[in-house]
Amino acid sequence: MSQRVQGVIARGKGAPVEVTTIVVPDPGPGEAVVTIQACGVCHTDLHYREGGINDDFPFLLGHEAAGVVESVGAGVTEVAPGDFVVLNWRAVCGECRACRKGKPWYCFATHNATQKMTLEDGTELSPALGIGAFVEKTLVAAGQCTKVDPRARPAAVGLLGCGVMAGIGAAVNTGGVTRGDSVAVIGCGGVGDGAVAGAALAGATTIIAIDTDERKLEWAKGFGATHTVNARGTDVVAAVKELTGGFGADVVIEAVGRPETYETAFYARDLAGTVVLVGVPTPDMRIELPLLEVFGRGGALKSSWYGDCLPTRDFPMLTELYLQGRLDLDAFVTEEIGLGDVEAAFDKMHTGGVLRSVVLF
């Protein structure tokens, strides 16, 4: 029997979000219903609200979440009722060409629930990133549920579901940061600070945090930044080179997603260095770089999808590091809010006053 729960939706482009009744069907084959305990407010949710992803309104927002499996459909073996899980938006298929090449983190046919959650009048909802977790209970593909140690705090490990994982993975998985490397991170929000933390975990000895907000630069120090650069009125490329013996960083992670910051990242790397784009640009953005410079500098220009993570591998491992006190996920949680406070949390994003607001249920 379907259930009626409260959730946050965006009805139209730029319209304030609202709390309303959501109809959640029983799980079908390969699906699971999850009782949400915590869900982070991510910039991607704001992009959905602003029509920056697509125009499939109304959206059921929220995707950076942890909770407990309530029920599962036929054929589900990955999880069982009672399991504590972090939700992921790249449930790999195991059959596409990327999976068959042994690179499932690039899976081109990720799974979502087949059934739709709806409003009470039957209007079908588009769940953000195939999840939709600003809601008391949500319906997902069972493969979107990754079991982690239930001792972990939901508000903290839920952030592995998107932003923090994207940042850590951009450094460790995509950027291949290793011991002794120099790393520069442009943009020190939740994703950028995740990249700082990932670089520190990987053993980088020089970690340069770059932003225009002194508060964010201070936060970055707490995650392992060894140096900070305020980009307001500063030649960032020159500053990075000065801090790296005149060479530039081995890995530069662009966590903003703008042409001008990407160009800065390109020129701030060392010869044969790596640029990783993990910030999300808008469809209209373009870059122009001298092709001779692209050739002459060598190295690699990469984009990072979800930190090129494999949830079944990375979420439990990072949760264990959190429980050991080696990865401070709690520090990403700026405030804990209620379901009715999501619109206000979006406003705070514009002022840069939070790393993450987290909805508790």
Q: Residue 40: pLDDT above 90?
A: yes
Arithmetic mean of pLDDT, 101-122: 95
Q: How many residues does the chain have?
A: 361
**Owner of token pair 């990783």:** 276
Q: Residue 140: pLDDT above 90?
A: yes
Q: Residue 282: pLDDT above 90?
A: no
End-to-end alpha-carbon separation of the chain, Å?
22
The continuous run of DSSP H or E covering 164 comes out as: helix 163-169
Q: How confident is the model at residue 182 (pLDDT cuts 50, 70, 90)?
A: very high
Opening angle at CA 130, ends 126 and 20, nearest 5: 45
What mean pLDDT is reported for the chain?
96
Nearest of 196, 167, 171, 186 to residue 264 by alpha carbon: 186
Q: How confident is the model at residue 331 (pLDDT cuts 50, 70, 90)?
A: very high
Nearest of 9, 10, 32 to residue 137 by alpha carbon: 32
* Amino acid present at 307: G
Q: Residue 201: pLDDT above 90?
A: yes
Arithmetic mean of pLDDT, 265-276: 98
Q: How confident is the model at residue 307 (pLDDT cuts 50, 70, 90)?
A: very high
Q: What is the pTM of this model?
A: 0.96
Opening angle at CA 278, ends 273 and 280, nearest 5: 140
pLDDT value, residue 351: 82
pLDDT-above-90 percentage for the chain: 94
Q: How many distinct helices (H) and strands (E) make up the chain?
A: 11, 18
Tokens, residue 75? 């054929």
pLDDT value, residue 333: 97
Cis amide bond preceding 150, omega within 30: no
Q: How confident is the model at residue 313 (pLDDT cuts 50, 70, 90)?
A: very high
